[in-house]
Amino acid sequence: MNCKFYLHKGKGQKAIAGHPWIFSGEIMGYDGEYTNGDIVDVYTNEGKFIGKGYINDVSLITIRILTRDINEEIDKEFFRRKLHLAWDYRKKVIDTSSCRFLFGEADFVPGMVIDKFNDYYVIQSLALGIDKYKQTIVDILVEDFGAKGVYERSDASVRKKEGMELTKGFLTEPFDTNIIIEENGVKYHVDIENGQKTGFFLDQKENRKAIHKICKDAEVIDICTHTGSFALNAGIAGAKHVIGVDISEHAVNNCRENAKLNNLENTVEFICEDAFEALNDFYHQGKKFDVVILDPPAFTKSRETIKAAQKGYKKLNFRGLRVVKDGGYLVTASCSHFMSPELFKKAIADAARDAGKVLRQVEFKTQAPDHPILWNDDESYYLKFYIFQVL
């Protein structure tokens, strides 16, 4: 019998409404014995069943709910159902050649992320409870989905909050971890062993496609280009010339290899420079572009640094706006959950005011649908993406 946990009176309202997390401060007490990672049952103060999930009292997020059905067993068949539901959803909404196969809480498997690159899968386990089922999930990927190989990238620092070590390595027989994928007609080298996160950012797939219509015959600059994805999409779309900028020499070298892979060496060039300095240099040189793309890494990963992040986004967008031709386009994004849509919108508006520009919104998008936004889970919504005409 599972250990039973009871919440303080009036606590756990988000969990009752569908959020999968129970925080340590919401727990009044428990009845029974448990070991961290075990499946436990959760009840309100009045004894109403909320759900069952795994526990880790080391973490501020103490219980992560897996099911609201008191009779549902958490076993291999449970995870098989979850993975098939996730896959069926993605087949409906997105190109699945390479995609996010499982998005943790938004796919009702808290703490687990799976990315698919062709027939190879990368797993990221971020919670102690789901770690116990890792091999079960690998077996299902091989048995049901024909995985040729599975690699683990559980090297995210958030694991330390769970009292877990960072780890990475093969979960099946070893294979070549340098993979070539294709998205929106663009090919990329993906290093799933040493690339950032799981090797490639799949969440901007639809947004990269969205810039095609504004890049034909355009002069384009892509700031914080990382893998060169926006720059290469601009090139494939028929841009006249594209400059990709990144502060990492390693990233720039990878971008150049991706340009060769797509026969775009004569159209798309990459330079290693700080984003703010590059934009400032182009402004003082009098250089302007038809399309300016700003896709920086998250400026904040906590509530404590939101104000500094807002200043950073304003500064970057201000400098970007100064090098957009009149009637040209600004593409700007934030991938930080803590930078709310309202705060991000304000940072852009303040930048436009200071730059003396009028913005006409062309499009607003979020993360691709293989990174679904669960309305009961605010944390699943993080990416904000705008295209503006600059007047």
Q: Is 99 a catalytic residue?
A: no
Residue of 99, 215, 224, 335 with catalytic role? 335
**Helix, strand and coil percent figures for the chain, each rounded to 5:** 35, 30, 35
Query: Which residues pair with residue 7 across a beta bridge?
Result: 27
C-alpha closest to that of 116 among 106, 102, 127, 126: 102
Cα–Cα distance, 128 to 40 (Å, whole number): 14
- Tell me the C-alpha distance between 139 and 266, whole Å: 45
Residue 223's nearest CA partner among 271, 287, 294 is 294
Q: CA 199, 202, 208, 210: dihedral to nearest 10 degrees?
A: 180
Give the separation between CA 53 and CA 132, rounded to whole angstroms: 13
First to last CA, the chain: 66
CA distance 311 to 252: 26
DSSP 145: H
Residue-by-residue DSSP string for 326-366: EEEEEEEEE--TTS-HHHHHHHHHHHHHHHT--EEEEEEE-
Catalytic residue ranges: 335
